Amino acid sequence: MLGPIVAALAVLAATSMGARAEEANDYPTSARAEYVFGCMKANGETRQSIEQCSCSIDVVASIIPYDRYVTAETVLSMSQVRGNLGGEFRSSEQASNALNDLRRAQAEAEVRCF
């Protein structure tokens, strides 16, 4: 009698763990690779920097969801544009909040990984 109950619990636990792993890994591989590449350019192109930069994107991904990361990356990119368009990205409260979220996540990654 316990066999079907144990099997059902095992399936439920596996489904639950799979969902949490999927949530924690919602960053596409290309986004992770781009982050690591940029991080390595800034921190030296060594084996140690690969490890540290890979760790860093994993920490960032565990703190902020991918859509928030994309928003912050867009703000960073667009705020470099001169003129009114860039100014909107530099002065918007929403843009500032997204950028602050990313900076906090990167600061945590710095502490944990470097």
CA distances from 107 to 13, 38, 56 (A): 33, 16, 9
Both tokens assigned to 106: 């990167």
CB 90 within 8 A of CB 41: no
Question: 111: Cβ–Cβ under 8 A, 6 or more apart, which residues?
Answer: none
**pLDDT above 90 (res 110):** yes
> If we measure between CA atoms, which residue out of 50, 90, 72, 107 comes closest to residue 42?
50
Mean pLDDT across 10-37: 68
Question: 9: Cβ–Cβ under 8 A, 6 or more apart, which residues?
Answer: none
**pLDDT above 90 (res 32):** yes
Categorize the per-residue pLDDT at 88 as very low, low, confident or very high, splitting at 50, 70 and 90.
confident
pTM, two decimals, is 0.74
Q: What is the pLDDT of residues 57-78, one digit of tens each?
A: 999 999 999 999 999 999 999 8
Mean pLDDT across 33-40: 97
Mean pLDDT across 7-35: 63
CB 81 within 8 A of CB 67: no
